Structure 1
């Protein structure tokens, strides 16, 4: 009887140990499988974020492409408008002797080494004053006064009705030993017109001109003191 009870107790103890062992194994298996599930979830989340970022980049690229195309379209239209404006200025008819009144005034002095020509638009409509004045001071010196290239304006000089333009003209160096000749009137011809305009020299006694030193600037909308010194 005692032997049978002892055998039953051993079987019960072995069964309990086996149950504990199985429980521990199941517990370890659950613990080890949980990180794998977590890793898979994280991978899916990361994949979703990457997909979302990729979609956002695609949308941004499309928006930038659309904006770039719009900018190019606007730039093209702007270039066309600018070109049209330049063509309009170039298409404005050239001023002739009938359109302007040319006068002369001294610039600084004494001694008077420079004069300023003023061409005022008296026509009642816009015209373009091209190039520089063609000036001849003396009958004995038929060559036009040389033009100073640095005085050329960047854009065409378009005169509205009543507007003036100016040209600075050098007469001499102001030295007493120069070959100066007195000039009471001289001729001016506009670019694009063959009509000779007679201009009175400023002052009661006229001006002294050295043909070898005379120079003229281009017509400009304003007299740029300092910029066109020569």
Structure 2
């Protein structure tokens, strides 16, 4: 039989237990609620972040990597670019093309920067002479075509040129450099209509100036106007092409 004192004690014990239970629940609830908002904030912040900005730290690292890559590619592009320009310089090392352009841009040789002389080419009977045109200027010049020769006042037409002696490339004379043209005077026969020539005139292609050339030998040369021929200007006499 429960007395009032026993009931009071039981009630006091039950109340204490209830208070402790409630305190424990509240404590658990507080820690859960305090953890939940933090997790919720972090999750919300993560979900609220735009996809492109996801992981700002990573993006910062990626930015550094990108800038490093772009710096690297810029550095590598620098040498590649210069390598390219050196490659195009080899387009200058395509020195062939550059040389041809330089040859094409050289001015024509004229009587003002070229001297012309004559020498016998073979022994008696002297049927050929060799003309030498030498660049006496301080710059390169282009010697085109063949010498326009007139041996006699009675024959005003130029001596015909032999087509097979035409060189494949333009003749460019650097300062002091010579070019040659073989000239046939006659067939060397005693029955030819040869005439003595002590001097004759030569004109260069593209220049109307008449150059007076002294004939080689103390007695000059014997010329048959009907048999006379001239070759083109070449850097050297070529066997075959200049045999006529």
- Displacement, 1:125? 1.3
Equivalent residues, number: 158
1:132 corresponds in structure 2 to: 146
1:144 corresponds in structure 2 to: 158
In structure 2, the residue corresponding to 1:153 is in which secondary structure?
A: coil
1:161 to 172, 175, 178: 175
2:206 to 184, 192, 216: 192
In structure 2, the residue corresponding to 1:162 is in which secondary structure?
A: coil
2:104 corresponds in structure 1 to: 90
Structure number, greater radius of gyration: 2
Please identify runs of 4+ aligned residues in structure 1 that moved more than 3 A: 76-84
Distance 2:175 2:91 in 1: 31
In structure 2, the residue corresponding to 1:86 is in which secondary structure?
A: helix
- Displacement, 1:82? 3.8
Distance 1:184 1:82 in 2: 44
- Displacement, 1:91? 1.2
2:226 corresponds in structure 1 to: 212
- Deviation string 1:113-172 (CA, Å, 9 cap, x unpaired) is 000000111112111111100000000000000000110111111111111110000000
- Deviation string 1:173-198 (CA, Å, 9 cap, x unpaired) is 00000111110000000001010000
- Displacement, 1:77? 4.8
- Displacement, 1:109? 1.9
Distance 2:139 2:92 in 1: 28
Distance 2:141 2:96 in 1: 20
1:123 to 132, 137, 161: 137
- Displacement, 1:223? 1.7
So what's the TM-score if we normalise by structure 2? 0.61
**Unpaired runs of at least 5, structure 2:** 1-86
**Unpaired runs of at least 5, structure 1:** 1-72
Coordinate RMSD, CA, aligned: 2.1
Question: Is the Cα–Cα contact under 8 Å of residues 117 and 132 in structure 2 kept in the other structure?
Answer: yes
So what's the TM-score if we normalise by structure 1? 0.64
2:64 corresponds in structure 1 to: none
Is 1:112 the counterpart of 2:101 in the alignment?
no
- Deviation string 1:191-214 (CA, Å, 9 cap, x unpaired) is 010100000000011000000000
Distance 1:165 1:80 in 2: 26
